[in-house]
Amino acid sequence: MDIATFEQRFQAGLDAMAGMSLTAARRHYDDLCASFSPPLPAGMTLTDTGIEAVPVRLYRPARCQPGTLVYVHGGGYSLGSLDSHQGIAAGLAQLLEREVLSIDYPLMPGARYAQALADCRRVVAATAPVALVGDSAGARLILDAVIGAASVPLLGLIYPLVGVPTTANLGPDAALLSRADVLAAWALIQDDAPPGDGQPPPAKHIEVLAVERDPLTAPLEKAVKAWRAGGADVGYRQAANMLHGCLHARESLPGMADAWRQFCAALRQRLDSPADQARHQHSGTQETTSSPLPAHQNP
C-alpha cells in the first residue's frame, strides 16, 4: 500500500464518523484503526485485567525477557481504546520481547484529563516499568505523568504533542491531522495539563519517532534540541513522507515500517544493555542506563 492509498482510506473512515453519536464514533474509530493492523504474532497471549482499579491489557510474547513496558494509546483524548491500538502494543511486545501493559484510561469529554493522568500514574507506580511508550495523545499523557517523579524510566515517544500548541509554533497542516485538530484536542486537556513549555528534559533517556507530514513535528523537533541541550540522551527518527496515524498501517507502508523497526531496535538496545539489566536486578528502581546508539538522527 502506498501513502496516498492509506490517506484516502483513513480519511474516508474519519469522514464516516460525522453525524455519529460519540459512542458509535468511538466504535467506528476502533474498527478503522484495527483494520490496518497485522494479525497478532504467533504465541502471543493477551490478558485483560485491572491494576489499581484501572483497566489494562497485558501482552506477553512467546519469547519474553524480564521487565514490563507501559504503553499509552493515542486518539486525540476523546477516541482510542485497547482495541484500536492493539496492533501497536502487540508490535512493541514482539519486537522488544517484553511484556507490554496497555492502559485503558478514561476519555474526554466525559472524563477530565486529570483523571486520565491519575490512572496512568497509579499504574506506573504499581508496576515500576522499565520503559514508558506512548503515541500521540498517549505520548503527551506520559510526558505529563512523569513531571515531578523521583525516578523516570526510559521514554519512547511517538509523534507527541509537546508544550502548548499555538498557530505560531505548530507546523503546517497535513492530511489526517490539521492545526485546527491539534488545537481542538488541546482544548480538551488544557485546564488540567501541567504548566510548562515542554523544554526541560522529561527523562535522562528518550527515544522519539516522528513523521514528516505532521503539524506536531516542528514543536517536537524544537523540544528534542532543548532536551539534548539540557543533558538528556535523545534518539530521534523521522519517517519521510508519512502522516500522523500511519503507525496503524506500518506493516503495509515501507517507510513507516523502517522507522518503526529502528525506533524499537533503539529501545531494545537500551533495555538489553548489561548495565541496565544489572541496575534493575540489584536496585529494583525505575532508572535506566543507556548505551550509545548508532547515528542519532538530528531534527
pLDDT tens by residue, 261-296: 999 999 999 999 855 544 443 333 333 322 222 334
The predicted-structure confidence for 194-240, as pLDDT tens digits, reads as follows: 998 999 999 999 999 999 999 999 999 999 999 999 999 999 999 99
Section 7-16 average pLDDT: 97
The rounded mean pLDDT for the chain is 92
The predicted-structure confidence for 61-93, as pLDDT tens digits, reads as follows: 999 999 999 999 999 999 999 999 999 999 999
Whole-number pLDDT of residue 298: 65
Question: Mind giving me the DSSP string for 205-239?
Answer: EEEEEEEEE-TTHHHHHHHHHHHHHTT-EEEEEEE
Contacts of 102 (CB under 8 A, 6+ apart): 56, 57, 58, 59, 71, 72, 73, 82, 85, 86, 89
The predicted-structure confidence for 40-65, as pLDDT tens digits, reads as follows: 999 999 999 999 999 999 999 999 99
In three-state secondary structure terms, 179 is helix
Which cell goes with 169?
509554533
Q: How far apart are CA 152 and CA 131, in angstroms?
A: 9
**Helical ranges in the chain per DSSP H:** 3-15, 22-34, 86-96, 113-127, 137-145, 179-189, 217-229, 254-272, 274-283
Nearest to 147 by CA among 173, 121, 128, 172: 121
Compare 145 and 196 and report the one with higher pLDDT.
Answer: 145
Section 114-135 average pLDDT: 97
> Does position 297 have pLDDT exceeding 70, yes or no?
no
Which cell goes with 147?
513531571
Quick one: CA torsion of 36, 210, 98, 100, rounded to 10 degrees? -60
Whole-number pLDDT of residue 282: 37
> Does position 167 have pLDDT exceeding 70, yes or no?
yes
Whole-number pLDDT of residue 292: 29
Which cell goes with 23?
459512542
The predicted-structure confidence for 13-40, as pLDDT tens digits, reads as follows: 999 999 999 999 999 999 999 999 999 9
As to burial, measured by CB atoms within 10 angstroms (0-12 exposed, 13-18 middle, 19+ buried), residue 18 is exposed
How many residues make up the chain in this entry?
Answer: 299
Q: Cell 494479525, residue?
A: 39
Neighbours of 24 (CB within 10 A): 11
Section 114-130 average pLDDT: 97
Whole-number pLDDT of residue 290: 29
Q: How far apart are CA 25 and CA 198, in angstroms?
A: 31
The domain made up of 3-283 has a fold known as Rossmann fold (3.40.50)
> Does position 179 have pLDDT exceeding 90, yes or no?
yes
What are the extents of the domains in the chain?
3-283
Section 121-149 average pLDDT: 97
Whole-number pLDDT of residue 273: 82
